[in-house]
Amino acid sequence: MVETVRTTLLITLSILVLILLYRRFRQYLRLHHLPVPQHVELRAVEVMYHPLQLRVHLHLPRPEEVAPAMLSTAHAHLHAWPTVRLERGEHVLELPLDEGLDGAYYVEVGTSTQRTERRFIIRQA
């Protein structure tokens, strides 16, 4: 009886050690050998004055839905443009701005996996 319990515990312990080693190895591979997913790159932000609009240059590594928004210097949402579905590659978004804006603002480009903000300045005077 004791011999049977001892054998069962040894086998169970061996199986648990193998499972733990497998999980550690799998975790190591994930952390050190899998590529990091690429994200949308916000390359440039330009203010066009006649008519007043914002040009945003983007590079997308894969097809993605992009949701641009305008934020105040306190990062409060001021305006959101419609979500745009863009294919892989270089893109330029021309986003209309309201007349009468002046000062510093942020443009936010959001996707399903990230959110990027850049500062821009409008000088009307």
**pLDDT reported for residue 38:** 79
Mean pLDDT (the chain, rounded): 92
Whether 121 and 47 have beta carbons less than 8 Å apart is answered as: yes
18 token code pair:
């193998």
69 token code pair:
């928004």
Out of 5-9, 16-20, 35-39, least confident range: 35-39
Which among 78, 38, 75, 40 has a CA at the least distance from the CA of 57? 40
**pLDDT reported for residue 69:** 96
Read off the pLDDT of residues 21-46 as tens digits, 9 standing for 90 and up.
999 999 998 888 877 677 888 999 99
Out of 63-67, 88-92, 98-102, least confident range: 98-102
Residue 70 clears pLDDT 70, i.e. is over it: yes
Which among 35, 84, 28 has a CA at the least distance from the CA of 56? 84
What is the layout of strands, in order, in the sheet containing 89-96? Answer: 41-49, 52-60, 89-96
77 token code pair:
């949402």
